[in-house]
Amino acid sequence: MFPTRRTHLFTTTVKSVIAIQIALWLGEVSASAGDAYKWTVQYLVDTSRTVLGRPQTVSPRHNRGLAISPDYKYLYAGYHHSFNNTGEVRRIQIDVADFERGTVALLPGILAKGIATDDKGRVYICDNSAIHVYDAALETRLLRIPAGIADSVATAREGAELVLYGSDRDDGSISRWVVKENGDGLSSATLAGLGGSGVFKVPGASDLRGIKVDAKGNIWVADLKGGKVFKIKPGAQDVKSVAVRGPMDVAIDGKRVLVTRWQERAITVLDDELNVLGNLNVPWEELELSPFGNNKQGALSGIVMVPGKGFFVSNEAGQTANQKSTYGRIDTHSDLIDGKLFRDVFQDDNEPILRATEVSTAPLP
């Protein structure tokens, strides 16, 4: 007897669940979630197009910083290579599929590596020795905060206070500022807390990068060259760490912590007690992206969560496969090859921002 379509669907689903369970056992996906991810390319630098009057043939490049608006409608992407040897920040509308039209604002001339937003949508940007705060539209600078070699920032509400945290990649310290609000604007930022001066030297840290604060006020920070992720309790009273190869940034979703692993090009999943649950790997071939990126410098860097739904991650120095691209608009650079449409036949597209959406793996009833 031939199987019915319903039986076939059920059998396929069971096989999928078994495959996922094997992957869990091998540490290829998060062992705590019982879920999988659908991967897509959310945004890309289409090298044949012009965005807000700026041709994209050679810039921007190196999208490391990534933040998301509090309503989850916009991404903020920081590039540290752009025109005139400076960087730029883009505000990208998530529900617009066209890469060119998706970019709704562009802030030039700022070396943006780390980016964060607060609960009112203001945007915090690391630029050399300062943190600049802009309104959500990237039109008005609200405040400039002097800092060391600030590489990443995070915001939090601690009681009635708006608090900003920053990591310093040069001296292995983190800083905490209390930010004074003035309506929708900001008037000052004062170092305070962390047991004293507002600056805390993390024991054993050498190259601090991405920083986030969880719902309990714990500070999570990645040490790239040190190969560690630190968990620092409020007030810097207790510091613990776990070994992770090449950690660049962290994102928090409840009791799970996702860690991008730079040129390891993987994402490690921790629980909130620093136990390693497994790793997530990007399906490069399925997405038609080069796994090694431009000149083998491709990396996974900035990461932001949409709680309970998935995450976005920047593929810094990433590019499409085989010096071609199936992404972007159809234009004079497009053609059919062996019956397949390539949107760019002569050159690759760059700097993908990837979207991983949680999908249920529960079997059909």
CATH number of the domain within which 301 lies: 2.130.10.10
Among positive and negative, which fits the CA dihedral 259, 260, 264, 268?
positive
Query: For residue 233, is pLDDT > 50?
Result: yes
**In the prediction, which pLDDT does 105 show?**
97
Per the domain annotation, does 23 fall within a domain?
Answer: no
Is residue 13 assigned to a domain?
A: no
Q: Which of 261, 256, 270, 265 is nearest to 287 (CA)?
A: 265
Give the H or E element holding residue 308. Answer: none
| pLDDT tens for each residue of 126-174 | 988 899 999 999 999 999 999 988 899 999 999 999 999 999 999 999 9
When pLDDT is averaged across residues 55-63 and rounded to a whole number, the result is 94
Q: Give the Cα separation of 208 and 152 in Å (integer).
A: 8
Return the amino acid letter for 327. Y
Is 323 in a helix, a strand, or coil? helix
Q: Domain span at residue 261? A: 36-360
Q: 33 pLDDT exceeds 70?
A: no
User: Helix, strand, coil % (nearest 5) of the chain?
Assistant: 10, 50, 40
Tell me the two tokens of residue 236. 């810097």
Asked if pLDDT for residue 6 goes beyond 70, the answer is no
Asked if residue 29 is part of any domain, the answer here is no
Residue 98: inside a domain, yes or no? yes
- Is 276 within the bounds of a domain? yes
Find the mean pLDDT for residues 300-326. Answer: 96
3 state SS of 321: helix
Task: Answer whether residue 75 is part of any domain.
Answer: yes
Angle formed at CA 315 by CA 175 and CA 311, multiple of 5 degrees: 70
- With tokens 């190869």, the residue in question is 245
In a domain, 230, yes or no: yes
Please provide the DSSP assignment of 253-264 as one string. Answer: ETTEEEEE-BTT
pTM more than 0.75:
yes
Is 164 within 8 Å of 152 (Cβ atoms)? Answer: no
Residue 26 lies in a domain: no
Least confident of 15-24, 102-111, 114-123, 200-209: 15-24
Encode 82-118: b = buried (16+ Cβ within 10 Å), e = exposed: beeebbbbbbbbbeeeebeebbebbbbebbbbbbbbb
Between CA 144 and CA 131 the distance in angstroms is 6
Total domains in the fold of the chain: 1
